[in-house]
Structure 1
Amino acid sequence: MISVDKLKKCDFKIVFVYEDESINTNRNLNDLPEKVNKVFYKKYKTSIPFIEEGGVSLLYVGLGEKSKFSFNKIKDIVAYSIKQIKKYEVEDIAIDISMFLKEYDVRCITEVVLGINLGLYELKNYKTSKKQEKYNIFIQGYEGYNEEKIVEEIRLGTNISDGVMLARDLVNTPANMLTPIIMAETIASIHEDTAVDVEVFDENYIKDIGMEAFYTVGKSSGNPPRLIVLRYLADPSSKDITALVGKGVTCDTGGYCLKPSNSMEGIKGDMAGGAAVAGAIYSLAKNNVKANVVGVIPASENRISRESFIPGDVIGSMSGKTIEVLNTDAEGRLILADAVTYAIQKEGASKIIDIATLTGSVGNALGFSTAGVLTNNDKFFKEFKEAYNKSGEQYWRFPICDEHRDMIKSNIADIKNMGKSYCGTITAGLFIEEFVENMPWIHLDIAGTAWVDTPLYEYQSKGATGAGLTSMYYLFLEKE
Structure 2
Amino acid sequence: MRPVVASLALSLAAFASAPLAAQAVVGTAVPPSTVPNSEPRPFRFATQASAQGTLVVPMSGTALPALSGVTLDEASRAAVTRAIGDAGFKGGKKETLALRGIGGWAQILLVGTGPLPQGEALRAALRDAGGRAAQALVSEKQPVVFAVPAGLGAAAQTAEFALGYALGQYRFDRYKSDRKAPPVDPVTFVSADAEAMGALWRDRLAAQAEAVTLSRDLATEPANVIYPESFVERTRAALAGVPGVSIEVLDEAAMRKLGMGSILGVGQGSTRPPRMMVVSYKGAGAPAAPLAIVGKGITFDSGGISLKPGAGMGRMKTDMSGAATAVATVLSLAKAKAPVNVVAVAALAENMPGGNAQRPGDVVRTMSGKTVEIISTDAEGRMVLADGIEYVIDRYKPAAVITIATLTGAAVRALDDEYTALFGRHDDLIEAIDAVGAPTGEAVWRLPLHDSYADDLRSPIADLKHGGDGPGASIGAWFVGSFVKEGTPWAHLDIAGTAWTDRGDAVTPKGATAWGVRLLDELARSWKP
TM range (shorter): over 0.9
Distance 1:13 1:476 in 2: 36
Q: Which residue type is aligned with residue 85 of structure 2?
A: K
Q: Distance in 1 between matches of 2:433 and 2:63?
A: 36
Aligned length: 473
Partner residue, 1:38: 85
Q: Structure 1: 5+ residue runs without aligned partners? A: none
Task: Report deviation, 1:27.
Answer: 10
Cα distance in 1 for residues equivalent to 2:116 and 2:278: 46
1:23 aligns with 2:65: yes
Partner of 1:134: 183
How far apart are the structure 2 equivalents of 1:32 and 1:432?
61
Uncovered stretches (5+) of structure 2, i.e. residues with no partner: 1-41
Contact 1:109 1:153 in 2 (8 A): no
Counterpart in the other structure of 1:65: 115
Letter in 2 for 1:91: Q
More helix by share: 1
Q: CA–CA distance in 2 between the matches of 1:84 and 1:237?
A: 41
Cα distance in 1 for partners of 2:376, 2:84 equals 61
Aligned partners of 2:104 and 2:275: how far apart in 1?
A: 61
- RMSD across aligned C-alpha pairs, in angstroms? 2.1
Q: Percent identity?
A: 30
Deviations 1:16-62 (A, max 9, x none): 12216553599998555342132233232222233323456321222
Match of 1:436?
A: 484
- Report what 1:344 is aligned to: 393
Q: Is the 8 A contact 1:246 1:355 kept in 2?
A: yes
Of the three residues 401, 412, 418, the one matched with 1:363 is 412
- CA apart distance, 1:129: 3.2
TM-score (norm 2): 0.85
- Whether the 8 Å CA contact 1:256–1:304 is kept in 2: the answer is yes
Letter in 2 for 1:169: D
Q: Deviations over 1:320-343 (max 9, x none)?
A: 111011010000000100100000
Deviates more, 1:397-406 or 1:44-53: 44-53
1:378-405 deviations in Å (ceiling 9; x for gaps): 0111222222232111111111212222
Shift of 1:305: 1.6
Deviation at 1:128, TM superposition (A): 2.6
1:468 is matched by which residue type in structure 2? G
Residue in structure 2 matched with residue 333 of structure 1 by the alignment = 382
Q: Is the 8 A contact 2:67 2:149 kept in 1?
A: no
Question: Which residue of structure 1 lines up, in the alignment, with residue 35 of structure 2?
Answer: none
- 1:14, distance to aligned residue in structure 2 (A): 0.3
Q: Which residue of 1 aligns with 2:52?
A: 10
The code of the aligned residue for 2:129 comes to I
Amino acid paired to 2:256 = K
Q: Distance in 2 between matches of 1:306 and 1:35?
A: 70
Q: Does 1:105 align with 2:154?
A: yes
Partner of 2:36: none
1:402 matched to 2:451? The reply is yes
Q: For structure 1, which segment, 249-258 or 13-22, has the greater mean C-alpha deviation from structure 2 after superposition?
A: 13-22
Aligned to 1:94: 145
Distance 1:400 1:479 in 2: 22
Q: Deviations over 1:389-432 (max 9, x none)?
A: 32111111111212222211212211111021x31000001101
Q: Deviations over 1:120-173 (max 9, x none)?
A: 112344133321212434334422x3x442221121211101100100000000
Q: What is aligned with 2:512?
A: 464
1:77 alignment partner in structure 2? 129
Q: Specify the code of the residue in structure 1 equivalent to 2:115.
A: E
CA contact (8 A) 2:128 2:164 kept: yes
AA partner of residue 166 (structure 1): L
Residue 67 of structure 1 deviates from its aligned partner by 5.5
Partner of 1:295: 344
Given the alignment, which residue of 32, 52, 73 partners 2:102? 52
How many Å separate the matches in 1 of 2:138 and 2:480?
44
Contact residue 14 and residue 59 of structure 1 kept, 8 A? yes
> TM-score, normalization: structure 1?
0.93
Contact in 1 for aligned 2:429/2:527 (Cα 8 Å) = no
Q: 1:276-299: CA deviations, max 9, x gaps?
A: 011110000000111111111111
Task: Give the match's secondary structure for 2:421.
Answer: strand
